[in-house]
Each structure stands twice: as structure tokens, then as C-alpha cells.
Amino acid sequence: MIVKQYVKDFENMGLGMFVHFGLYSVLGRGEWVKFLERIPDGDYDRLTSMFNPEKGWAEELVRIAKKAGCGYITITARHHDGFSLYDTCGLTDYDAPHSKCGRDLIAEFVSACVKYGVKPFFYHTLLDWHEKSYRDDFKKYLSYLRQSVSVLCRNYGKIGGIWFDGMWDRPGDDWEEDKLYGLIREYQPEAMIINNTGLSARGALGHIELDSVTFERGNPKPINLEDSPKYIASEMCEVMNDCWGYGANDLNYKSPALLIEEMVLCRRTRANFLLNTGPEPNGSLRLMDRGVFELIGVWMDKFGDIFRYGVPSETAKVIGNDKNFAVEKDGCVYVFCFGLPTVADPNVSLIRSADYDVKLKLGGFDFKNLKVTAVDTGENLSYDFRDGLLTVHGIPFAFGRNLVVRVIKIENGGKNNG
């Protein structure tokens, strides 16, 4: 099996930011507003006269992503409404340079990514509600599509990848994938090529040139690569509320704790977690979105290296908890522990006992010379080892420091209370 380094590099990033930004942001009713509300082309196209993100929007966005621990950002260079955030170089005037802002927003985005050391990825729609040839002359449309993607590949330096979406709209048609992916390989040989299989086909393998499968808002499962000639990564994209694009009245936010749990659970199968934000019309993130990424950054500061580089353990199997799992890194085993209580004085905490154990079968260690610690505090944890089962005691959170998912480290060397 061929293992390409850029695919492993992508997998090792672990966390990305997904950004849905475009004309629909002006209306604040989600990215599908044109289609769902049947807005006539002329009425929708007039939004170009109102689309004017503030200068500095991209730097603020990338800075937030970097602080959260994101290794890459996937932005909607063109979404289903057909409007492009980049200079299409004459292919169409339905782009940001021809809108009120008069600027190439993808150029600004890439510049900020280079400054902060974050990989830029481009989302590019495959279906198109604006381009008439999509409905009237599919062969002509495919040529237009390839020319559009070619501009992204040629004009913005080295990119992290292209993320396609919408092939599910015409499942019986020939999308000429060989030509589409071939031109990407010509200009960007080390770019990830990803084609979202949507809600109906999570984790499905596709064309041989694709480098990652997708699990849209779904729990990633191991993918069967037994007959694959190359290694393929996986990624789960998730939305904070119900809309991918800005929804001014979409208040149905998931809790930061739930999102942290989802993010961590992705790594049971080494899947990346791509968390979405929909910027406001001026390009700024809502306070809630910024706050979620800030809290994720706190968690990543504690456990980020283990999250990124730990590989599912072959020597440790966690017993009795369907979420807890173990990874290995640098000769040590790390266990991600979910559902831990916070313990404190009974006057301030509902939990009075610190009795919470993690049990696992563990091989390859010297159990007379074992060290078990909590990664976030460095404190030694007591344990018992009987009949091939390691039981680690006393790992709930102390009052005031609940990190949602805690990581314990198991290594040879040192002394514990075992």
C-alpha cells in the first residue's frame, strides 16, 4: 500500500476550521437560503452590492483558528450559489472583485494563513445554482468547473487541498473526475483531494485520486483499506448549530463540551475533526463561535500533541466504557477518559466521591516499574494490576478544572502506589 506523506501530514493535523462565507451571509438565513426560499436570480444577485467584508477579516479568522489548535482551514471559495470569493480571472463577473468589496478575498485569506502557519484548503462546489450551463449543457459546465478550479490551483501558491461538494446532486452523470483531479495533480501534486459523499454515504470510498473519505455530521468508523492501493485518511465535518452559513436566528448551538467530545472521539479512528463557523456579513465570527474555538484551544493546549500524533493502541484495550480509548505515542500509552465527574466539598458539588476507575487490558509494560500520571496536572495516579487487568484510580476532575475529556499517561519507569 502506498502511503503518501502529505496524506499523513493532513491526518496529523487532527483539527481544522470549516468556514462557510458568501453572499448568503448578508441575509443571515443559512447557506441554502437561495434554494430553499426560491429567491429569483435577479433578487439574489443584488446581494453583491451589499457584500463588503471588513479589511482584516481574514487575519482575525486565521488567528482564532491558530489559537484553537487548528492545523488547517477549509473555506468556501465557491458555494452552491455559484458566487466566488476569488478572482475568477474573467471566467465570470460573479465574484468578490466584482462585488461591493472589490477585493480578492481568497488572496487575503491565503496571506493570513501563510502568516500564521495554517494550511489553506478551498471548498469548491460541484453543483451550481447560478451557472446556466449546469442545467442546460453539462459538458460545457464541466469545462467551466475545471477552469475555475485551475485558477485556484495556479494563483495562490502551495495549498493544502481542494474540498468538493455536490456530486450527489447528479449521481447518474459522468463528472469526468479523471480530468478534474488530474489538473489538480498537475498544479498541486501534494494537495489533498476530498469529495464529500454527504449525509447519505458517510465514509464511502470513491475515485482513486481522492485522499480522504468524509463523515458529514456522523461518528467516523474505521474504513476498510484492505483492497486499496494507497492509504486514505478520513474527516468528520460538524456544524455548531443547524446552519453552515451565518444564521442570525439560529440559536440551537451545541455545547462546547459536546463538541470537544465529538472532536476527541474522531481520533479513535484517526479521523480529523473539521468544525464549522459561519462568519457574519462583515467577516467577523459571532461571539459564541469565537468562544467555542477559544475553549477548544484551552483543551488543545493541554492535550494537543497526543490528540494529533497518538495512534490507536494495539497493546491497550479499554474495558467497560464505550467512549474511553487508548492511543500510543513515543512508547507510552495514553487513555482518553470521558464522563468524569467533578468532585469537591458536598456544599459545592453534587459528587462527593472521587471513586472513578479506568480499566484496561495492557501488554508490553513492566508492571513492577509502572508510572501512571494525569497529563494536565502531572500528578501520579494510583493503580492496581490483577489478572491482566490494569485499574487506574482517582481520576475525576478537581473543582474548577473540568476539561470534559481527560488524558492519563501510562509509561515504564517510576514508582506508583500499585
pLDDT (mean) for 41-63: 98
Q: In 215-309, which residue ranges form alpha helices assigned H by DSSP?
A: 256-266, 287-309
The pLDDT, as a whole number, for residue 418 is 47
Of 403, 278, 313, nearest to 17 by C-alpha is 278
The pLDDT, as a whole number, for residue 197 is 83
118 pLDDT higher than 50: yes
Cα distance between residue 166 and residue 289, in whole Å = 26
Of 362, 407, 366, 415, nearest to 389 by C-alpha is 362
- Say if CB 335 and CB 364 are below 8 A apart: no
pLDDT band at 317 (very low <50, low <70, confident <90, very high): very high
For 152-158, which contacts have Cβ atoms below 8 Å and span 24 or more sequence positions? Answer: 152/77, 152/86, 152/106, 152/122, 152/124, 153/183, 153/184, 153/186, 153/187, 153/188, 153/191, 154/187, 155/86, 155/87, 155/89, 156/86, 156/106, 156/107, 156/110, 156/120, 157/110, 157/114, 158/188, 158/190
- Say if CB 241 and CB 252 are below 8 A apart: yes
Of 156, 187, 2, nearest to 77 by C-alpha is 156
pTM of the model: 0.95
pLDDT digits (tens, 9 = 90+) for 259-285: 999 999 999 999 999 999 999 999 999
Helix or strand holding residue 54 (H, E):
none
pLDDT (mean) for 129-153: 98
pLDDT digits (tens, 9 = 90+) for 322-380: 899 999 999 999 999 999 888 877 777 666 455 578 999 988 777 778 899 999 999 99
Name all domains of the chain by residue range, CATH numbers in brackets. Answer: 5-309 (3.20.20.80), 312-412 (2.60.40.1180)
Quickly count: other Cβ atoms within 10 Å of residue 184's Cβ: 22
| Distance (Å) of CA 390 to CA 241, 329, 340, 366 | 40, 19, 18, 12
Q: CB-side exposure of 384: number of CA atoms within 13 Å? A: 7
Q: CB-side exposure of 77: number of CA atoms within 13 Å? A: 33
CA 247 to chain centre: 20
Quickly count: other Cβ atoms within 10 Å of residue 298's Cβ: 14
- Lowest-confidence region among 26-30, 32-36, 289-293, 387-391: 387-391
The pLDDT, as a whole number, for residue 355 is 58
Cα distance between residue 235 and residue 149, in whole Å = 22
- Lowest-confidence region among 116-130, 205-219, 350-364: 350-364
Instruction: List all residues 6 or more positions away from 288 whose beta carbon is below 8 Å from its beta carbon.
Output: 240, 253
Helix or strand holding residue 114 (H, E):
helix 105-116
- Say if CB 330 and CB 366 are below 8 A apart: no
SS3 90: coil
- Say if CB 233 and CB 7 are below 8 A apart: yes
SS3 397: strand
Cα distance between residue 314 and residue 326, in whole Å = 9
400 pLDDT higher than 70: yes
Instruction: List all residues 6 or more positions away from 135 whose beta carbon is below 8 Å from its beta carbon.
Output: none
Of 26, 24, 42, nearest to 34 by C-alpha is 24
Q: CB-side exposure of 161: number of CA atoms within 13 Å? A: 23
- Say if CB 245 and CB 24 are below 8 A apart: yes
Of 166, 194, 154, 167, nearest to 11 by C-alpha is 194
